[in-house]
């Protein structure tokens, strides 16, 4: 969809992302640099060439067992290699979101072996969103991750902040670190430090508290065939890569009504839902009522019809307080509660599109995954950002729809109302 001022060529950057909203996050950051970016949901069958600078493969591996994450990540990386990418980037959350039983270490090890990398940068810093690494410890604004509100992720709680410890819990590969004082001396100083590490493969934790620090790391990371981290380092590498920008990356959004789906229980999303409900009606999806049959998809469809008849943008949400979420998970079990809500959200997304809604806003990574699976787009082009790391996207289908897939913690309180008013 984006027009280009140059002939078709293979992409230089391939990104393997461990969840749906994380994929659109990194795609948005790279697109900002003038790099035409397309995102696929899993490895597309039969596609052997892509006219884009960056190709993102969105997986749902963040919370799956390590062996399954490795299998899917290798499949994605090998497809990207067949496209001819020069560099593969493993994208995970800027808050790491990986417990001792997690898979970031195993996936990084497997991709390093596949790509022949000897030094793998570990860089979750995303300074624009207040995620930084200092003395190898991950901070959320001025708090250590383990002391911040983000430590209480429902699937991957984070009770440690030292990336050396977190990586060592998951991988037998040696873990070294480059302190900020060395980064401040520039890329050559970082290269000397990294070059002095011993061993055929070393994970290198990257101190970085600013985009300027990430720019230093980008030059070093691009000298290896693989690097890892959040959207911050990927954007820095795109800035550093010469000849990657295109003159026009406009992605027009289809016109039509907008609908909202919210499955996140994060503090940010709770505030966004509350702000929206001060201005519009909404329908709460109750996992307990779904379990007993007191609430069904027909109830949701009737609400959609009523809202659209009044030209009121519909919001279907399961977002609730952490106290209530804990009670729901206790009564139903976390897996059952999640399955009930995600199934309802997926069916609601299909019902929205069937009723002519052309722009769908989704809050929550797991909810976004369920919605994408239900709607089944082959891929999406990355458009303008509504908030940092949260872009409008447009499906590559013949009858496109716009999707706004938001990680739970992203966006201001006014996020939904801003998206509603988007031209």
Sign of torsion, CA 284 289 290 295?
negative
Determine whether 231 is exposed, middle or buried from the number of CB atoms within 10 Å of its CB (0-12, 13-18, 19+): buried
Q: Is the pLDDT of residue 350 over 50?
A: yes
Give the global pTM: 0.87
Q: Are 411 and 268 in contact (CB under 8 A)?
A: yes
Question: How much is the average pLDDT of 283-309?
Answer: 97
Distant-in-sequence, close-in-space partners of 151: CB < 8 Å, separation ≥ 6: 145, 157, 158, 159
pLDDT value for 96: 83
Question: How much is the average pLDDT of 93-108?
Answer: 86
Cα gap 258→254, rounded to integer Å: 10
pLDDT value for 153: 61
pLDDT value for 248: 53
pLDDT value for 132: 96
Question: How much is the average pLDDT of 210-229?
Answer: 98
Cα gap 126→357, rounded to integer Å: 33
What is each CA distance from 46 to 25, 119, 378, in whole angstroms?
26, 33, 12
pLDDT value for 249: 61
239: nearest Cα among 212, 205, 204: 212
Q: Is the pLDDT of residue 2 over 80?
A: no
Write the DSSP string, 299-313: HHHHHHHHHHHTTPP
Instruction: Indicate the average pLDDT of the chain.
Output: 92
Length of the chain: 423
pLDDT value for 6: 40
Give 4's pLDDT tier (boundaries 50, 70, 90). Answer: very low
Q: Is the pLDDT of residue 97 over 90?
A: no
pLDDT value for 242: 62
Question: How much is the average pLDDT of 147-154?
Answer: 65
Q: Is the pLDDT of residue 83 over 90?
A: yes
Give 157's pLDDT tier (boundaries 50, 70, 90). Answer: low
Tokens of 364: 């929550």
Q: Are 92 and 121 in contact (CB under 8 A)?
A: no
Task: Indicate the fold that domain 13-240 takes in CATH.
Answer: Rossmann fold (3.40.50)
Q: Are 319 and 273 in contact (CB under 8 A)?
A: yes
Instruction: Express each pLDDT in 111-131 by its tens digit.
Output: 999 999 999 999 999 999 899
Lowest mean pLDDT among 25-34, 81-90, 152-161, 334-343: 152-161
Instruction: Express each pLDDT in 373-392 by its tens digit.
Output: 999 998 999 999 999 889 99
Give percent of the chain with pLDDT exceeding 90. 81
Distant-in-sequence, close-in-space partners of 29: CB < 8 Å, separation ≥ 6: 231, 232, 234, 235, 238, 389
Distant-in-sequence, close-in-space partners of 248: CB < 8 Å, separation ≥ 6: 2, 3, 4, 5
Sheet holding 137-140, edge to edge: 131-134, 137-140, 143-144
Q: Is the pLDDT of residue 138 over 60?
A: yes
Q: Is the pLDDT of residue 188 over 90?
A: yes
User: Could you count the other beta carbons within 10 Å of the beta carbon of residue 411?
Assistant: 24
Q: Are 214 and 232 in contact (CB under 8 A)?
A: yes
Instruction: Express each pLDDT in 404-420 by its tens digit.
Output: 999 888 899 999 999 99
Main-chain dihedrals φ then ψ at residue 74, nearest 5 degrees: -65, -40
Tokens of 184: 């401040």
Main-chain dihedrals φ then ψ at residue 324, nearest 5 degrees: -70, -40
Lowest mean pLDDT among 93-97, 219-223, 264-268: 93-97
Tokens of 21: 């909203």
pLDDT value for 101: 78
Q: Is the pLDDT of residue 7 over 70?
A: no
Task: Say which DSSP state 256 is in.
Answer: S
Residues of the chain with CATH 3.40.50.10840: 13-240
Task: Say which DSSP state 18 is in.
Answer: S
Question: Domain 258-420 sits in which CATH superfamily?
Answer: Four-carbon acid sugar kinase, nucleotide binding domain (3.40.980.20)
pLDDT value for 325: 92
Q: Choose between 248 and 57: higher pLDDT.
A: 57
Residues of the chain with CATH 3.40.980.20: 258-420
Q: Which residue's entry shows tokens 């809500």? A: 341
Q: Is the pLDDT of residue 423 over 80?
A: no
Question: How much is the average pLDDT of 342-347?
Answer: 98
Q: Which residue's entry shows tokens 């995620």? A: 131
């Amino acid at each position: 969809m984006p027009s280009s001022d140059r002939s078709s060529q293979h992409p230089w950057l391939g990104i393997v992302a461990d969840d749906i909203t994380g994929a659109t996050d990194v795609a948005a950051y790279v697109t900002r640099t003038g790099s035409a970016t397309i995102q696929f949901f899993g490895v597309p069958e039969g596609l052997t060439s892509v006219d884009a600078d960056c190709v993102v493969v969105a997986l749902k591996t963040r919370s799956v067992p390590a062996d399954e994450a490795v299998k899917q990540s290798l499949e994605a990386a090998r497809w990207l290699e067949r496209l001819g990418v020069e560099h593969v980037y493993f994208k995970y959350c800027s808050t790491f979101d990986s417990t001792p039983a997690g898979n970031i270490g195993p996936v990084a090890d497997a991709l390093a072996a596949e790509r022949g990398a000897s030094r793998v940068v570990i860089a979750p810093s995303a300074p624009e969103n207040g995620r930084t690494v200092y003395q190898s410890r991950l901070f959320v604004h001025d708090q250590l991750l383990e002391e911040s509100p983000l430590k209480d992720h429902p699937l991957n709680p984070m009770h440690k902040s030292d990336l050396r410890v977190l990586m060592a819990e998951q991988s037998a590969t040696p873990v070294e670190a480059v302190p900020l004082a060395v980064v401040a001396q520039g890329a050559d100083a970082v290269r000397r430090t990294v070059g002095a590490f011993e061993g055929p493969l070393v994970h290198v934790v990257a101190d970085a508290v600013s985009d300027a620090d990430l720019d230093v790391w980008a030059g070093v990371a691009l000298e290896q065939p693989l690097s890892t981290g959040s959207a911050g380092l990927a954007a820095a590498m795109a800035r550093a890569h010469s000849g990657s920008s295109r003159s026009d990356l406009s992605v027009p959004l289809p016109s039509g009504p907008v609908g909202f789906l919210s499955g996140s229980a994060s503090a940010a999303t709770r505030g966004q839902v509350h702000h929206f409900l001060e201005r519009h009606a909404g329908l709460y999806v109750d996992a307990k009522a779904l379990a007993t049959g007191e609430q069904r998809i027909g109830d949701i469809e009737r609400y959609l019809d009523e809202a659209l008849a009044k030209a009121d943008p519909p919001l279907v949400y399961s977002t609730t307080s952490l106290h209530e979420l804990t009670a729901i998970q206790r009564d139903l079990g976390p897996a059952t509660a999640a399955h009930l809500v995600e199934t309802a959200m997926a069916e609601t997304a299909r019902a929205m599109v069937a009723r002519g809604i052309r722009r769908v806003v989704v809050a929550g990574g797991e909810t976004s995954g369920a919605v994408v699976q239900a709607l089944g787009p082959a891929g999406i082009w990355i458009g303008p950002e509504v908030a940092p790391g949260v872009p409008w996207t447009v499906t590559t289908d013949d009858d496109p729809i716009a999707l706004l897939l938001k990680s739970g913690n992203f966006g201001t309180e006014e996020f939904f109302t801003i998206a509603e008013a988007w031209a």
